[in-house]
A and B are shown apart, each in its own frame.
Chain A
Amino acid sequence: MPSPLEGNALFRGIYCWLAANKGNALQCPPDGPAFKDGWLPLGWEWLAYTIAALAIVMLVVNAFMVLATIYTYVERRLLGRFQSRLGPNRAGPFGLLQPIADAIKLLAKEDLVPAGADRWVFNLAPVVMVVPVILVLAVLPFGRHSFVADVNIGILYVVAVTSISTLAMFMAGFSSGNRYAMFGGMRAVAQLISYEIPVVLSIVGVLLLAGSLSLVSIVEAQRIPYILLQPLGFFVFMAGSSAEMNRSPFDLVEAESEIVSGYHTEYSGMKFGVFQLAEFGAVLTTSGIMATLFLKGWEGPVLPSHLWFLIKVFLFAFLFIWVRATLPRLRLDQVMAFAWKFLLPLSLINIFITAIEVLALDTTKLANLWLMAGINMAVAVLGIAAFSRFVRLGGKPRDITIEIPMASEAR
């Protein structure tokens, strides 16, 4: 049985450097230049395996953390520019040390736990929040032959793992013993579960075209970027994932003007920092998934593959920042209506059209792919135009008869 790490260049390098390679022709082919007995004696391959795996995991997680901190800076700078101001530019050259300054500040802050809080759950919630974001990295191919694991159910794994963050938000909101946090938690559950569905369905079109759940295979299957073939799927995925990440215009979960800070109102110090890290990290991982699914992942001319991947990730991240800088927030019922009445039908249409096209057209021919792109583009425009009617205007207040005494007297 092949290891899920097979095909990972970095892993193979470390492994072959360490292990005795006589019995491992599969992973260290004898004809390659790497064929040389490693440092460990025969029978200790498991140690080489473990060390290599730990090394690559450490590398990926740390690189991700550094990128996420850099991203907090990038987001604040770009938001500033969108608002015709400068953004943080005081700490270090161009303010580049701002994330470090923030981290030091957060670490130096008092770590408060409210008196009415459920201590255990309260402390656990940030961890549960940050874990799924990091877990996603396990299957994300960030360069040619560069990934932690190429799992045959990759994209499903991503969807499954990201659904855990709902739980974290709810834990945080419920355990804080704060009513704003409670509102945030309730909103998180309602919103995130609803948007899970269109997001998953929007991926299906890509899967139909690629014929695989593995993210590596999806990248390799893209002859032209799927953003052209799946404009509707991309739109739904982008909208849905910004809702899953609580980003504008769906940032109800932490709507500052309404419920102060939502589920992490009561958090302070580094716990708050962990929440922020998870949120900013989620933008990066989501952008990475979008780059993988819709923009040919790491592939690109001239530049090294890792750089291409990074460029695409920051391109999508820029898109998210732009949206955040521009749009106001929707109301809860409108957000739900948007998911169920707008995104869900659109994603179903997308699946339907794509399935028909995959059946009817020979997808191995490039001309057919361009034809599909044309059809899908038209369908996307028509679909969005047709279903945008369902986004309601205004809405009605609930009919409530006002009793004469005010709340304080009726107590």
Chain B
Amino acid sequence: MPIRTEPVTVNLGPQHPSTHGVFRLRVTFDGEVVLDVEPVFGYLHRGSEKLGEERTYTQVITLTDRLDYVSAMTNNQAYVIACEKLAGIVAPERAMYLRVIAAELQRLVSHLVATGFFLNDLGAFATPLMYCFRERESVMDLFEMLCGARITVSYMRVGGVFQDAPEEFWPALNTFTTDMPHYLDEYEQLLTSNEILLTRTKGVGILTTEKALNCSVTGPVLRSTGFPWDLRKVDPYEIYDRVQFDVPVGEQGDNYDRYKVRIMEMRQSIRIIDQCVQQIHPGPVKADVPALLRPPPGDAYGRIEGPKGELGFYLVSDGGIAPYRFKIRSPSFINLTVLRDLLIGWKLADMIVTFGSIDINMGEVDR
């Protein structure tokens, strides 16, 4: 005897504790089971792409800070790489190392935030979040040393970075990379083997490699399905071909794998930073780039492996001081496309956790 129930439609968001910004999900529930999901976004749309066409190439860097505001460095890096491709500039070696160090620190921050909020969505009352933010703060201190700002860094410039790292940055970085593995161990001890976390995340929200590839999902979400696609390996930019690191992959692409892959990537990031510190040697940090950059007419697509996936900037130049077309390939936005397939059939609680495990940032989705 089937019990007939009526589906209920709920607006999850835009104001909801766990939508990571102003994201809205129009969800149809049968009891607690998700029948249908429709993501609605655009609440944070600021027209970044159009704004970029009105600004000089240097000024756009400040816009990229605000796309994915928990990983401003990597946004800077991707944009700057696109610009350098467009203008045919090669940054000095030391600048590249500095950029990579900054970007890997930023990857740590982004993954810390992602892990913290993922565990918070799981219901661990703010404790892992607080621990993660504690370490995030120390990276923020490093950024403040490096460029005088904690979040909106605007550190990189076309053709290098704006200024070399200060003297006290290096010992501080060294302390950080020595301490960080212990903190990672602490997170893992806190929750990785916790049975509640396992029951909540193992086998939940499984994403197959095929579907991930079809939806052009990138980043840790793709790697968690067992597909070792990492632009730092497959299309090495800057100096990534000179450092040794592994590309951690998951087993079946469930929530647990996505969590675990991020934790493992953090360890790899520390490894990369350590190698960079070993390899970096003195030199100029900025190429000779005019203040008002006028790249030759043409177009370029620069991409990097951002913390959330492939972050690309497509720039078209008409020879002027501002890009003619400024297009952002934001991983958060693309990764959202699998959301509906991941959520349908699962319960409300799983929905929140799966959504948290994809790790999106609305500043990047809505641009």
Tell me whether A331 and B134 are in contact in the complex, defined as CB-CB below 8 angstroms, given that A179-B8, A258-B348, A400-B344 are known contacts. Answer: no
Give Cα A391 to B194, complex, Å. 13
- CB of B105 within 8 Å of the partner chain: no
Smallest Cβ distance from A392 to chain B, in angstroms? 7
A68 interface contact, C-beta 8 A: no
A402 within 8 A of B: yes
Which residues of the partner chain A approach B202 to less than 8 Å between Cβ atoms?
Answer: 393-394
Does B188 have its Cβ within 8 Å of any Cβ on chain A?
Answer: no
Q: Which of B115-123, B217-225, B287-295, B319-327 contacts A (4 or more CB under 8 A)?
A: B115-123
Interface membership of B38, Cβ < 8 A: yes
Annotate B1-41 by CB proximity to A: 1 below 8 A, 0 otherwise: 00000001110000011100000001110011101111000
Interface string of A77-104 (1 = CB under 8 A from B): 0010011110000000000000000000
What separation, in Å, do the CA atoms of A313 and B195 have in the docked complex?
A: 28
B17 touches A260 (CB 8 A): yes
Does A333 sit at the interface, judged by CB under 8 A?
yes
B239: chain A residues at CB < 8 Å are: none
- What CA separation (Å) do A84 and B199 show in the bound complex? 27
Residue from the list A179, A183, A249 in contact with B123, Cβ < 8 A = A249
Among residues 24 to 81 in chain B, which have CB atoms less than 8 Å away from a CB atom of chain A?
26-28, 31-33, 35-38
Q: How distant is the Cα of A90 from the Cα of B195 in the complex, in angstroms?
A: 38
Which A residues touch B190, using CB under 8 A?
A: 326
Q: Is the CB of B195 within 8 A of A391?
A: yes
Residues 247-270 of A at the B interface (beta carbon under 8 Å) = 248-249, 251-252, 255-260
Give bound CA distance, A391 to B198, whole Å: 11
Quick check: is A26 within 8 A (CB to CB) of the other chain? no
Q: Verify A332–B191 contact, CB threshold 8 A.
A: no
CB proximity of A260 to chain B, nearest CB, Å: 6
**Of B94-102, B124-132, B275-283, B359-367, the one touching chain A:** B124-132
Quick check: B38 and A406 within 8 Å, CB to CB? yes
Residue of A with least CB distance to B40: A408
Tell me if A257 and B18 are in contact (CB < 8 A): yes
Given contacts A258-B18, A328-B196, contact A79 B349 (CB under 8 A): no
Answer whether residue A386 sits at the interface, using C-beta atoms and an 8 A cutoff. no
What's the minimum C-beta distance from B15 to chain A, rounded to whole angstroms? 9
User: In the complex, are the beta carbons of B349 and A328 less than 8 A apart?
Assistant: no
Chain A residues with CB under 8 A of B33? 398, 400
Instruction: Report chain A residues within 8 Å CB of B333.
Output: none
Residue among A182, A331, A407 with the highest chain B CB neighbour number at 10 A: A331
Residue in A closest to B341 when the chains form the complex, CB atoms: A402
B: residues with CB less than 8 A from A are: 8-10, 16-18, 26-28, 31-33, 35-38, 119-127, 130-131, 134, 190-191, 194-204, 254, 340-341, 344-350, 352, 356
